[in-house]
A = this chain, B = another copy of it.
Amino acid sequence: MIISMKRHATREEIDGVIQRITEFGYKIHAIEGEERVVIGAIGVGDTSNCLESLTALDCVEKAVPISAPYKFVSREFKKTDSVVKVAPDIEIGYDQFVVMAGPCSVESEKQIMESAELARRGGARVLRGGAFKPRTSPYDFQGLAEEGLKLLAKARAETGLAIVTEVMSDAEVPLVAEYADIMQVGARNMQNFALLKALGKCGRPVLLKRGLSSTIKELLMSAEYIVAHGNKDVMLCERGIRTFETATRNTCDIVSIALLREMTHLPVVLDPSHATGKRSLVPPLARAAVAIGADALILEIHPNPAKAMSDGAQSLDPQQWMAMMEDLQPYIALWKQARLASQPVAV
């Protein structure tokens, strides 16, 4: 930490600050300038509380941390990319570019079976579909719950696709973990800390979506919660953030993909459906995601989007889906070439 004292802080105040920092377990290096005193605190201690305690003092101008507040998920902690095995033959994070596709919600057996077959045919390896749906209105369709999970399992049995589905409460973690290959945390729950702790012990890989207004650092902190509670198989997902722009459903912070690959060893996924909210924008954004170096895509397709019970406007119809996957192939080939070149050691 660096603590900058106010311009006219007294010697007594400065000594008081130094003493407090020492109590928190840091070593001190003070710089006495002409205008003000700056104190460097170096070592390992309870940074958050120490910073808060110092900021509360009137004699302190500002107090800032130097090191990142997360550990296990940082690139400094582990230099090589992490690879998450989500099924015996599906690994995300090295040289397989994985596409997860499916409807927003599981609506019926017919719909999910058709969707799964469509996903498989286009080249997806994982089927997405919501059984528990976070809906802004209490009057909207809330999902089929366990019945939906059973239908997903049936689709997996028939197509060989792995399953990713959302879990909304720590109380439902065990139930969802019985059926899902990947546990999805929705954007609205990214800082549901009770849920994150429960996922630390769920025994399944987790796909953690970035909150609508969460910073990249907060996303990493939420991933750290899961890892710190026992589960290292975490994938991060950019799905657009909330800004002043309303021409798209959200604003896709695509640069976060490249930045996260510098900051963390965890795989990074992009969701072009929620990031845009408009199906015509999904294929160009998917291309850009491959080009910038995402590890996987998760997106919405539907056998008949106009009849979808949710997110119809952003779901690809069968023809668009097949065309997009074909269009992506040369980009995926370039992606794979870059991965094989840059990554000498698989982990």
A residues adjacent to B (C-beta < 8 A):
2, 4, 7, 20, 27, 29, 31, 33-36, 38, 40, 42-43, 46, 48-49, 52-53, 55-57, 61-62, 64, 66-67, 69-70, 76, 134-141, 168-172, 188-189, 191-195, 211-213, 215-218, 221, 224-225, 228-229, 241-248, 251-259, 262, 275-276, 278-281, 284-285, 287-293, 305-313, 315, 330-331, 334
Contact = CB atoms under 8 A, between A and B. Distances in A.
Given A2-B2, A258-B284, A313 B52 contact: yes
Number of copies: 4
B243 A243 contact: yes
A20 B216 CA distance: 32
A245 B253 contact: yes
Contact of A309 (B49, B242, B247): B49
B42 A33 contact: yes
19 contacts: A2-B38, A33-B40, A33-B43, A34-B43, A35-B42, A38-B40, A48-B141, A49-B310, A52-B313, A53-B312, A56-B305, A168-B192, A213-B242, A216-B245, A252-B255, A254-B285, A259-B281, A287-B292, A288-B291
A56 B188 contact: no
Contacts of A66: 4, 36, 38, 61-62
A136 B221 contact: yes
B38 A33 contact: no
Nearest to A1: B38
